[in-house]
Amino acid sequence: MYRPLIGFAGILVANLVAALDAASLSVALPTIASELQATSIQAYWAGTAFVLSSAACQPLFPAFSNAFGRRSVVIFALSLLILGSIVCGSAQGISALLAGRTIQGIGGGGILAMTYTIMTDLFTLRRRSVAVAVNGMVWLLGAAVGPVMGGLLSTSALWRCIFWICLPLLVISLVLVSLFLGSKKDNSDQPEEKHLPGACKRIDWIGVASLVASLTAFLVPVSWGGIMFPWQSWQTLVPLVIGLVGLASWVSYEHTFPSQPMVPLSLFNNRTTSCALLGTFVIGIIQFGLVFYLPLYYQVVKGYSAVISGVALLPITLVSGLSTAITGMVIAKAGRYKISVLTGWTVLALGCGLLELLDLHTKTAEWIFITAASGLGGGILFTALTMAAQAHVAQEHIAIAAALTPFVRALGQAIGITAGNSIIQNGLKRNLQKSSFDRLRTNAGAVTRHMASPKFLLSTFATSEDEVSALLAAISNALKDFWWFLLAMALLAGLLSLMIVDLNLEFTEKMDDAVVISTTSSRSDSSSEGGSIERKSAPSDQA
């Protein structure tokens, strides 16, 4: 009975690599941009490509796993991570690096989506809260170690090792998954669908193609709006409108035509599930926005090195990991989640408000406490919202609801990076145009474009001590605009969370006995993976 759990451990290893890939590049971007002779905008895309491709492709993997089996789809995602790491590690130009990051993002998104899907196969709702917490700790460990690792390697001009160093872990994950993870499908009652042609017929290919195309058309202009092209330009507006129309058309199509839609839209009739997923989207915006833009504060405003900047993220990531684990155990013990949701939003909103105190003169002990407060609230919500999203869902839709959680979080991450970059750049440009120094006013646009290169900024645009102080103050105030945005998002999501209905998760011995973990050989594609949960449909709280 331990074979599927060993396979799941292999998936956790892959999650660690995906987290490292997502977090390690932010502090190394200045070095990479210099090495590959890339602009700040191109370097920005190196960080964004992973998030965008991950978000756009996540919904596909659970749908494919229903037809082709869990193990086969996980192996495919792992193969993409390996290929992407090789491409990035051997890149000689920014184009190759962007291609590798895109491949990594698709693989990482697949791993994350399949992790939550497989959790529903292996664990009861009670034990699932602990499994979610463990996976959250793995991701937060990657978020903690990644920036430090990226800072150390970028300082040593060994940034390529950021990608090569993860390959042994991916190989270990591939071996564990191949040997121990079963290959559950949802077509066992249809003999003609057990083979490849029949399995392919079960895929909603029109829905798959239209969703990926629409998400890509939407996310790309959202990412470059205000950076590569103005928001009001046709390069931004045309694909944005196409993406929104495409998403609306996809929703209409999924509601009308497929017998087995990718996402049953009836899920969103449930008030608790909808509010929990919306909250998860906001968490993606806030948490990734902090991890991505706090290094800008540390390196530019505080003048820390890349290594110290990575270390400075430890308070938020370590506290997040600890609170994620504790919340999982509390929910497993109490059988309730709403109090954790409300507590999490309260603490997170407080933490986002305290970010306004960060400036050039903030002491070390102060910024440690401020960032740790945000980490505490985010960690509580990581587990609590995941459980709330699943608690009111009927058993036949539980895997889809679980897979939607990382998907909407990834969408939030993409929006968080984009919104942060747009808000900070516009705020910085506005602040510089009000400066009393001619050099800063004249070069406001150039300073904004090179915002991520502190050495270049200070050596080119600020030569006197007064100019340096004015420039750093302008950047600090621009960051405060973004912190205000995060606070507003936390308050809004916190208010909406009041609509969540608290359901007793019924942590009884009968529920434990309902878990069946298959011990059938995991080498056969027709074998059953892990366990299934015989659980009554949750009480409805339809809006």
pLDDT of 156-205, one tens digit each?
A: 567 888 889 889 999 999 999 999 887 665 544 444 444 556 566 777 78
- 242 and 307 co-located in one domain: no
User: Residue 452's pLDDT is what?
Assistant: 65
Amino acid at position 418, single letter: T
Asked whether the predicted pLDDT for residue 358 surpasses 90, the reply is yes
Contact 509, 375 (CB under 8 A): no
User: Residue 345's pLDDT is what?
Assistant: 97
Asked whether the predicted pLDDT for residue 254 surpasses 70, the reply is yes
- 311 and 353 co-located in one domain: yes
Asked whether the predicted pLDDT for residue 512 surpasses 50, the reply is no
What is the tally of structural domains in the chain? 3
Query: Looking at residues 218-222, what average pLDDT do you find?
Result: 84
User: Residue 313's pLDDT is what?
Assistant: 87
User: Residue 186's pLDDT is what?
Assistant: 54
Contact 20, 166 (CB under 8 A): yes
Asked whether the predicted pLDDT for residue 386 surpasses 80, the reply is yes
User: Residue 261's pLDDT is what?
Assistant: 76
Contacts of 242 (CB under 8 A, 6+ apart): 214, 217
Report which of residues 105 and 225 the model is more confident about: 105
- 320 and 426 co-located in one domain: yes
pLDDT per residue as tens digits for the range 389-398: 888 787 777 8
Residue 463: exposure state from Cβ atoms within 10 A (0-12, 13-18, ≥19): exposed
Least confidently predicted of 137-141, 418-422, 502-506: 502-506
pLDDT per residue as tens digits for the range 478-490: 999 999 999 999 9
Phi/psi at 336 (nearest 5 deg)?
-130, 155
- Does the residue 195 lie in any domain? no
Residue 376: exposure state from Cβ atoms within 10 A (0-12, 13-18, ≥19): buried
- 477 and 459 co-located in one domain: yes
- Does the residue 540 lie in any domain? no
Contacts of 287 (CB under 8 A, 6+ apart): 320, 378, 413, 416
Amino acid at position 497, single letter: S
Least confidently predicted of 428-437, 454-463, 520-529: 520-529
Integer Cα distance of 182 and 528 in angstroms = 6
- Does the residue 193 lie in any domain? no
Q: How many CA atoms lie within 13 A of 248 on its CB side?
A: 6
**Paired strand residues for 515:** 533
- Does the residue 163 lie in any domain? yes
User: Residue 519's pLDDT is what?
Assistant: 36
Q: How many CA atoms lie within 13 A of 313 on its CB side?
A: 34
Query: Looking at residues 457-464, what average pLDDT do you find?
Result: 74
- CATH code for position 472: 1.20.1250.20
Confidence tier at 543 by pLDDT (50, 70, 90) = low
Integer Cα distance of 281 and 275 in angstroms = 10
- 268 and 253 co-located in one domain: no
User: Residue 246's pLDDT is what?
Assistant: 92
- Does the residue 270 lie in any domain? yes
User: Residue 12's pLDDT is what?
Assistant: 94
- 272 and 228 co-located in one domain: no
Confidence tier at 377 by pLDDT (50, 70, 90) = very high
Report which of residues 491 and 511 the model is more confident about: 491
- If residue 515 lies in a helix (H) or strand (E), which one and from where to where? strand 515-517
Q: What's the whole-number average pLDDT of the chain? A: 82
Query: Looking at residues 279-306, what average pLDDT do you find?
Result: 89
SS3 assignment, position 516: strand
**Paired strand residues for 270:** 542
Residue whose C-alpha is closest to residue 360's, from 209, 471, 520, 473? 473
- Does the residue 198 lie in any domain? no
Question: Residue 355 has which token pair?
Answer: 């970010």
DSSP 188-233: TT-GGGSSHHHHHHTS-HHHHHHHHHHHHHHHHHHHHBTTTB-TTS
- 231 and 320 co-located in one domain: no
Among the candidates 258, 291, 320, a domain finishes at 258
- 253 and 269 co-located in one domain: no
- Does the residue 525 lie in any domain? no
Confidence tier at 529 by pLDDT (50, 70, 90) = very low
- Does the residue 133 lie in any domain? yes
pLDDT per residue as tens digits for the range 107-133: 999 998 999 889 988 887 777 888 888
pLDDT per residue as tens digits for the range 303-327: 888 778 878 988 998 899 889 989 9
Least confidently predicted of 178-192, 250-264, 268-282, 298-312: 178-192
- 334 and 244 co-located in one domain: no
State the sign of the Cα–Cα–Cα–Cα dihedral 517, 521, 525, 527.
Answer: negative
- Residue ranges of alpha helices (H) inside 24-124 are 29-35, 40-57, 60-68, 70-89, 94-122
User: Residue 18's pLDDT is what?
Assistant: 86
Length of the chain: 543
- 254 and 283 co-located in one domain: no
- 155 and 224 co-located in one domain: no
Q: What is the span of the domain harbouring residue 214?
A: 205-258
- If residue 517 lies in a helix (H) or strand (E), which one and from where to where? strand 515-517
Residue 108: exposure state from Cβ atoms within 10 A (0-12, 13-18, ≥19): buried
Least confidently predicted of 255-259, 278-282, 335-339: 255-259
State the sign of the Cα–Cα–Cα–Cα dihedral 306, 311, 315, 316.
Answer: positive
Asked whether the predicted pLDDT for residue 537 surpasses 90, the reply is no
Among the candidates 165, 181, 197, a domain finishes at 181
Question: Residue 22 has which token pair?
Answer: 């997502």
- 360 and 416 co-located in one domain: yes
Integer Cα distance of 267 and 220 in angstroms = 27
**Paired strand residues for 229:** 225
Asked whether the predicted pLDDT for residue 103 surpasses 90, the reply is yes
Integer Cα distance of 166 and 18 in angstroms = 9
